[in-house]
Amino acid sequence: MPSGTRRSGGRKRPETIYFLGFTLYCTRNRQGNFKVGFRTEKSRLLRSMAHLTDLMRRMRHLPVCEQALNLSRVLRGHYAYYGIAGNFRALQKVHRFVERYWRKVLGSRSRKAYISWEVFHRIKARYPLPRPKLVRSYRELQRCAVL
C-alpha cells in the first residue's frame, strides 16, 4: 500500500512480521532513512529463558566448572542465532537473566541458600560466561537481502 494510501487509511507504518523467531518492523536509521529492524520475538525470548531455567535446575548439583561449560555452550548457540544487528538488548537480557538465575541456583546448593555477589563475582572471574556478541552487522544483513 503506498504511503499516502496508508496514511488516509489511518495507519502510520506497515505491519510487523514474525519470521524465524524474529520480529521484523519498520524503523529509521540515524540519517532518517527507512530500514527494517530485527528483534527477538517475545515468545521465543520467554521460551529460551524457560529452557535456561530448566537447564540450570537440572545441572544444579554438577561441579561449578561443568555448569559454566554447559551454560557457555548454550549461550554461544543463542548468540550465534539471535546475534544480529538491532537485537543486542535481547541478548543482554538473556545474559543478565542467566547470571542472576545461576547465582540463585548456586545459592540453593547450600543450607544457607544464599551466595553474596562478591563470591559470585569471584566464581564468574574464574569461570567466565560469554558476553553478548553480534554475529551479523547491518552491512552483512544488507548483503543477504534479496529484492
In a domain, 25, yes or no: no
On whether residue 11 sits in a domain, the answer given is no
* Domain-embedded: residue 27: no
The whole domain housing 99 covers 42-144
How many CA atoms are closer than 13 Å to the CA of 34, on its beta-carbon side? Answer: 6
What is the arithmetic mean of pLDDT over 64-81?
Answer: 94
In a domain, 30, yes or no: no
Checking if the pLDDT of 99 tops 80, the result is yes
What separation in angstroms does the CA of 58 have from each of 53, 71, 125, 129?
A: 9, 12, 23, 18
Q: Does 2 fall in a domain?
A: no
Residue 16 lies in a domain: no
Q: What is the pTM of this model?
A: 0.80
Q: Please report where in the chains the cell 514474525 appears, as a residue.
A: 18
Section 63-87 average pLDDT:
92
Amino acid at 41: E
How many domains does one find in the chain?
A: 1
Range list of H helices, 13-126 = 42-58, 64-82, 88-107, 117-126
Judging by DSSP bridges, how do beta strands 17-19 and 34-40 pair with one another?
unpaired
The mean pLDDT of 108-117, rounded to a whole number, is 83
Residue 86 has pLDDT above 60, yes or no: yes
Find cell 507504518 and name the residue: 13
- Cα separation values, 6 from 3, 16, 27, 36, Å: 5, 14, 16, 18
Q: Is residue 17 part of a domain?
A: no
Give a yes or no: residue 84 inside a domain. Answer: yes
Judge whether residue 143 has pLDDT over 90. Answer: no
Residue pair 46/66 in contact (Cβ under 8 Å)? The answer is: no
